Amino acid sequence: MINSILDEFDRKVRQGRAWRSFFRHGWPEDAWGRSQAIVSNVFLHLHPVKLRRHGVKVTYTYCMGGISFFLFLLLTVTGVLLMFYYRPTVQLAYTDMKELETTVNLGMVMRNSHRWAAHGMVITVFLHMIRVFSTGSYRPPREFNWVVGVVLLFFTFLLSFTGYLLPWDQLSFWAITVGTNMAGYAPLIGSDLRFLLLGAFEVGANALIRFYTLHVILLPLFAAVFMAVHFWRIRKDGGISGPL
């Protein structure tokens, strides 16, 4: 009898410890409690405890940064779904895309969602940069974050460019041919840069697998890292900058 009571007591103590390991603070009833609840949670910590009035005005930010991030998440989800049906080979790439449109349930929805989200992200990131510049949000102490934003714009263009070849149709083939030929005219490193992109002297199987690897692994990984740094710097620089 005593042993069972002790075991039950020990179980409740362990449950209490497990509960406290997840929730370090009680119900946030005051400003200090709300602050501690947010700071100790990795998801809630992405947002500051307090926001300035201008930071939540739609007419000031137009939500371009948030929309860009949402589109990146949408592209990630739809891109992973498309990877289940796409094989990056010269013989199968175009056939897989056509079968995705005609035989896979909601395949056309997946592809068009990915395509239009990509176009939308290019537009919203560009508009976000214009908003930041027009409101002077690049000024001290936010110069570093402005540079991070420019890098993210560059990655957005590269993601759109590398994804253009993957359908392996005439439009994508000749668009990438023109694009890589333009890269070949870069001073000093032009020919080497073109060969690095294509893995050969013309668009072919090597280019397809390289563009696929860049599009689904390397560029999204770098973009996600720079986004994390971008959000972190916004917090460290005192939140969204105020109007001029």
Question: What radius of gyration, in Å, describes the C-alpha atoms of the chain?
Answer: 24
Could you tell me if 163 and 190 lie in one domain? Answer: yes
Question: What is the per-residue pLDDT for 14?
Answer: 54
pLDDT at residue number 165: 95
Same domain, 22 and 40: yes
Q: Are residues 64 and 157 in the same domain?
A: yes
Which CATH number do you get for residue 200? 1.20.810.10
Is there a single domain that holds both residue 156 and residue 192?
Answer: yes
pLDDT for the residue numbered 53: 81
* Same-domain status, 90 and 188: yes
Residue 243, in any domain of the structure? no
Of 50, 68, 83, the last residue of a domain is 50
Do residues 60 and 54 lie in contact, with contact meaning Cβ atoms separated by under 8 Å? yes
User: Cα–Cα distances in Å, from 46 out to 21, 79, 148, 198, 234?
Assistant: 20, 25, 18, 39, 10
Whether residue 103 is found in the same domain as residue 210: yes
Q: Are residues 2 and 105 in the same domain?
A: no
Looking at residue 213, what is its pLDDT? Answer: 97
- 230 near 145, Cβ under 8 Å? yes
Say if CB 208 and CB 93 are below 8 A apart: yes
For the whole model, what pTM was predicted?
A: 0.84
Determine the pLDDT at residue 1.
60
Per the domain annotation, does 208 fall within a domain?
A: yes
When divided into structural domains, the chain yields a total of: 2
Is residue 20 located within the same domain as residue 111? no
pLDDT at 41 (0 to 100): 76
pLDDT number for residue 17: 65
Same domain, 118 and 201: yes
In this structure, is residue 244 part of a structural domain? no
- Asked if residue 224 belongs to a domain, the reply is yes
- Encode the chain (244 residues) as per-residue pLDDT tens digits: 666 665 665 565 555 666 666 667 777 778 888 777 777 777 777 666 677 787 778 888 899 999 999 999 999 999 999 999 999 999 999 999 999 999 999 999 999 999 999 999 999 999 999 999 999 999 998 999 999 999 999 999 999 999 999 999 999 999 999 999 999 999 999 999 999 999 999 999 999 999 999 999 999 999 999 999 999 898 888 888 877 6
The pLDDT of residue 23 is 67
Closest to 241 (Cα-Cα) out of 35, 60, 68: 60
Based on the fold, state whether residues 104 and 44 are members of the same structural domain: no
Interatomic CA distance for residues 109 and 132, integer angstroms: 33
| Residue 75 domain boundaries | 55-236
The answer to whether position 190 is within a domain reads yes
CB 119 within 8 A of CB 210: no
